[in-house]
């Protein structure tokens, strides 16, 4: 079987889909357009692109991407299945050409909500099969539900003391800038040692003491090393999104306690109050009972349900 994955894999999580497929004996090509760099010929073209985007819904950079992808398929030839992750950067015309000329089955995985990225909704009909991690969109459009995944080998709950940190989080800053100061203040005043990392490519007007700000993404390997040195993992929900982030599945795969602002996590079969605490940012409270209670070990069958090896079998019908 020949499969191509098309995605903006700027953190590297989608590469694990390709690796899991290869382990199943599938021939895989990952078209990661994070590596496709577009350079404006001049400042005039940059200004013109702003006008075209604003008033005519035309984007030079997006058109360059679409052309680049189609040229790649001229080289690759026809595939058995093609998975497009998110897909808001591809035009309906491009998806139509891919579907008609270059694959037997075109699949979408929407790992963001339509409320955050309305362009995804416009391309949904271009696919033969659609998966989404957002419960609201699944219910509204009748998509197949599938969550994000545990992308590393499962780890057993083990004695790992002393930890360097009580709690760890790494997130793109964006609208989380209002939650980090509140959480850092809570952690510091309750003697909880936190490792909070905020990624932002844009210049920052204000920095919060106790938060590490980075301009370049760290590797997944380095991130997991910090997670290993932390007793708990913190998950900060994006506004307008109920789908579970990778922080949830990192905690699940490593069987670490999770503190999250995403209340939808209680609807999943791996939820246990000993392991997962949902907090309200209007009144943060982390009870000692949660901090001191033993971790409730989960059945391996439950963990494997959310592992990348099962994810690819589900999506690609392996």
Residues 30, 33, 37, CA angle at the centre, nearest 5°? 140
Domains and CATH numbers, the chain: 2-151+308-316 (3.40.50), 165-296 (3.40.50.2000)
Alpha-helical segments (H) within 78-145: 92-101, 118-123, 135-141
CA-closest candidate to residue 6, choices 29, 31, 28, 36: 31
pLDDT, tens only, 210-219? 889 898 889 9
> What's the rounded Cα separation, in Å, for the pair 80 and 3?
6
Q: Say which residue, 173 or 245, is predicted with more confidence.
A: 245
Is pLDDT of 247 > 50? yes
Range 197-217 average pLDDT: 84
In this predicted structure, what is the pLDDT of residue 201? 80
pLDDT, tens only, 258-292? 999 999 999 999 999 999 999 999 999 999 999 99
Percentage of residues in the chain with pLDDT exceeding 70? 89
Range 216-226 average pLDDT: 94
Lowest mean pLDDT among 130-134, 151-155, 170-174, 270-274: 170-174
Alpha-helical segments (H) within 145-275: 179-189, 220-228, 246-254
In this predicted structure, what is the pLDDT of residue 176? 65
Q: At what angle do helices 308-316 and 15-23 cross, to 10 degrees?
A: 80
User: Is residue 56 very low, low, confident or very high in pLDDT (cuts 50, 70, 90)?
Assistant: very low
Residue with tokens 């702003």, as numbered in its chain: 50
In the chain, DSSP finds a helix count (H) and a strand count (E) of 12, 12
User: How many angstroms from the chain centroid is the CA of residue 148?
Assistant: 7
Contact in structure between 110 and 143 (CB atoms under 8 Å): yes
User: Is residue 52 very low, low, confident or very high in pLDDT (cuts 50, 70, 90)?
Assistant: very low
Token pair listed for 216:
């370049």
Range 245-269 average pLDDT: 97
> What's the rounded Cα separation, in Å, for the pair 117 and 259?
26
> What's the rounded Cα separation, in Å, for the pair 30 and 32?
6
């Amino acid at each position: 079987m020949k499969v191509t994955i098309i995605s903006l894999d700027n953190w590297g999580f989608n590469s694990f889909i390709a690796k899991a497929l290869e382990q199943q004996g599938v021939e895989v090509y990952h078209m990661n357009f994070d590596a496709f760099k577009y350079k404006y010929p001049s400042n005039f073209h940059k200004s013109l692109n702003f006008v075209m985007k604003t008033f005519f819904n035309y984007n030079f950079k997006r058109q360059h991407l679409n052309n680049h992808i189609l040229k790649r398929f001229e080289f690759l030839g026809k595939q058995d299945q093609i998975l497009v992750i998110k897909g808001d950067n591809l035009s309906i015309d491009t998806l139509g050409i891919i579907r008609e000329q270059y694959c037997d089955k075109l699949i979408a995985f929407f790992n963001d909500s339509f409320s955050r990225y309305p362009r995804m909704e416009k391309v949904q009909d271009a696919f033969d099969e659609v998966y989404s991690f957002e419960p609201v969109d699944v219910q509204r459009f009748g998509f197949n539900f599938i969550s994000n995944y545990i992308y590393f080998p499962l780890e057993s709950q083990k004695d790992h003391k002393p930890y360097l940190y009580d709690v760890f989080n790494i997130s793109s800053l964006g609208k989380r800038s209002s939650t980090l100061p509140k959480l850092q203040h809570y952690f510091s005043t309750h003697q909880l040692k936190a490792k909070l990392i905020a990624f932002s490519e844009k210049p920052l007007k204000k920095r919060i003491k106790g938060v590490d700000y980075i301009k370049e993404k760290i590797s997944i390997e380095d991130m997991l090393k910090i997670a290993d040195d932390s007793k708990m993992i913190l998950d900060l929900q994006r506004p307008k999104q109920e789908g579970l982030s990778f922080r949830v599945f990192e905690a699940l795969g490593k069987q670490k306690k999770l503190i999250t602002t995403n209340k939808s996590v209680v609807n999943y079969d791996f939820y246990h109050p000993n392991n997962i605490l949902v907090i309200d940012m209007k009144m943060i409270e982390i009870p000692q009972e949660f901090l001191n209670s033993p971790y409730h070990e989960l059945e391996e069958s439950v963990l494997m349900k959310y592992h990348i090896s099962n994810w690819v079998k589900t999506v690609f019908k392996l």
